[in-house]
Amino acid sequence: MNSARSVAVEVVKKVLYDNAYSSIVLNKYLNKFDLNKKDRALITELVYGTLKYKYTIDCILKNFIKSNLEKMNKDILNMLRISICQLRYLDKIPEFAVVNEAVEFSKNISFKLSKLVNGVLRNYLRNKSNSFGGNKEDKIEGICFEYSFPRWMAELFINQYGEDLGKFIMGSLNVVPKVTVRINTLKTDYKHAWNELIVNGYDVKRGNVYKEAVIINKGSNIELNPLFEKGHITVQDESAMLVSYFMDVEENMTILDLCSAPGGKSCHIGELMKNTGNVHCYDLYESKLSLVRHNAERLGIKNITCKKLDAAKYLEKLKDTADRVLIDVPCSGLGIIRKKPEIKWNKKEDSLKDLIEIQRKIILNAARYVKVGGKLVYSTCTLNKKENEENINWFISRNPQYKLDKLYCGDFHNIIYHEEGYMTILPDNHMDGFFIARLIKQR
């Protein structure tokens, strides 16, 4: 049974129970079956909507199912989840059709369970105007229900940023992201690429922050477009573009990118250096380095070399060799949830301590690779201050030979410039959440 909803159920199950990445498994299943454009769009909406609003959906289901949800048949539970998602957050399909599809799907598993599905969904529709948020005296629980975030994550945002900004962050992380591309100036110019995108049927607008960015409002899969295939454009968020921009590179420099895969920032650096100098790309996994090589080849970047390396382990031969070092360190990813909603459910609070330990090992190693007068850029795609500001302050206190270099790229509603010099990019309709710090080695 390859209906849109049955495919969505399978994808959600893989993500929630097999720790699959939503984008990868979704593309796999979309290509596996002969689906029309309408069904592909519906499956994508259902998968990302269900993962995004899982907390709220499960709270609703608990009002109608008294047993432990996680002990239920996984296919039945996920069909209920995507059905509630449709009924609550989508309005393209009539309610009766949503219920009937769910019941028919469930009959293939168990006639008895199909009655449960029918009863739960019809009961929800009779009571959909009710508040399902649980304990009205628990403010955090109400926020978790409204924005559909696990409690520890909601508390992290509110405790670190205050209630208003914390809500803004969570609301922005629920926004459906637009695709943003960067113009590759080695192969084309902005005006030509812009016009070609319009000719190819794309609704576009200029990027908000970075001069070579184009936001795709509407259009077909950009990676199947000739401009992408020829390397004239590449998909990259504006926040990530700013990381390479703040590397402050010059032609003929030696650059180390210690956590380079999949290569977006490495290739951007190579482009900014106009294919001069050397960009040495390292990553822990050889398989991921193949992505860097593939991107570099497509974009015509010729000053990149790739090699396997554990950035958390010091390598003596790299000492004092680099004009610039980039460490886009492994992080909790709390700033990119709008693109990877499964982060809400596959990240655990306890795991953050291990990440911070790894991040600190990496920055200590990276600092030894920078030449005197050179610069070290630290970036993450998280908004957890323990992985960001606290790590940089910890490093500076132990390495007085480094000083922070102030960052600035203009006044924008979602960019926070800290007194110390580093910056936080809050997620909004067009940008991911990021943190960037640039340090200069003085002696």
CA distance 240 to 267: 12
Six token digits for residue 219: 């259009």
- Half-sphere exposure in the Cβ direction for 57 (13 Å, CA): 23
Specify if 131 maps to a domain: no
> Binding site: what residues are annotated?
259-265, 283, 310, 328
What pLDDT sits at residue 135?
65
- Mention every residue, 6+ apart, whose C-beta is less than 8 A from residue 130: none
- Mention every residue, 6+ apart, whose C-beta is less than 8 A from residue 132: 56, 59, 60, 63, 145
Q: Pick from 377, 273, 272, 253: which is nearest to 323 by CA?
A: 253
Could you give the dihedral angle defined by the CA atoms of residues 59, 178, 332 and 160, in that order, rounded to the nearest 10 degrees? -70
> Binding site for S-adenosyl-L-methionine: what residues are annotated?
259-265, 283, 310, 328
- Do 265 and 151 fall into the same domain? no
Six token digits for residue 25: 């498994």
- Do 167 and 193 fall into the same domain? no
- Do 406 and 429 fall into the same domain? yes
Tell me the backbone φ, ψ of residue 309, rounded to 5 degrees.
-160, 140
Cα separation values, 127 from 31, 97, 131, Å = 38, 18, 9
Tell me the backbone φ, ψ of residue 238, rounded to 5 degrees.
-60, -35
- The number of beta carbons lying within 10 Å of the beta carbon of residue 39 is 18
- Do 218 and 78 fall into the same domain? no
Alpha helices in 305-425 (DSSP H): 343-346, 351-369, 389-398
Q: Is 381 an active-site residue?
A: yes
DSSP 318: G
The answer to whether the bond into 262 is cis (omega within 30° of 0) is yes
- Do 355 and 424 fall into the same domain? yes
* pTM for the structure as a whole: 0.94
- Do 169 and 183 fall into the same domain? no
CA distance 145 to 332: 22
- Do 56 and 168 fall into the same domain? no
Pair type for strands 402-405 and 434-441:
antiparallel
What pLDDT sits at residue 1?
45
What pLDDT sits at residue 134?
60
CA distance 101 to 96: 9
- The number of beta carbons lying within 10 Å of the beta carbon of residue 270 is 29
Six token digits for residue 167: 């809500």
- Do 282 and 326 fall into the same domain? yes
Range of the domain at 328: 238-441
Q: How many domains does the chain have?
A: 4
From 306, 331, 381, 409, the catalytic residue: 381
CA distance 20 to 159: 30
Cα Rg for the chain, rounded, in angstroms? 23
Query: Domain with 97 in it: what CATH number?
Result: 1.10.940.10
- Do 22 and 168 fall into the same domain? no
Specify if 12 maps to a domain: yes
Specify if 187 maps to a domain: yes
Q: Pick from 258, 305, 299, 300: which is nearest to 279 by CA?
A: 305
Q: What is the pLDDT of residues 202-259, one digit of tens each?
A: 999 999 999 999 999 999 889 989 999 999 999 999 999 999 999 999 999 999 999 9
Pair type for strands 233-235 and 179-183:
antiparallel
Could you give the dihedral angle defined by the CA atoms of residues 92, 93, 99 and 104, in that order, rounded to the nearest 10 degrees? -130
CA distance 309 to 296: 19
Q: What is the pLDDT of residues 355-395, one digit of tens each?
A: 999 999 999 999 999 999 999 999 999 999 999 999 999 99
Location of structure tokens 């929630």: 16
- Do 294 and 399 fall into the same domain? yes
**Average pLDDT per 10 consecutive residues for the chain, totaling 443 residues:** 84 94 92 88 94 96 91 95 95 90 93 93 92 77 95 98 97 95 97 96 96 94 93 97 98 98 96 98 94 96 97 96 98 97 94 95 98 98 98 97 97 96 96 98 94
Six token digits for residue 304: 């990149």
Q: Which helix (H) or strand (E) element contains residue 132?
A: none
CA distance 123 to 128: 8
Specify if 133 maps to a domain: no
What pLDDT sits at residue 67?
87
Q: What is the pLDDT of residues 298-313, one digit of tens each?
A: 999 999 999 999 999 9
Query: Domain with 421 in it: what CATH number?
Result: 3.40.50.150
Specify if 66 maps to a domain: yes
- Do 264 and 202 fall into the same domain? no
- Do 220 and 303 fall into the same domain? no
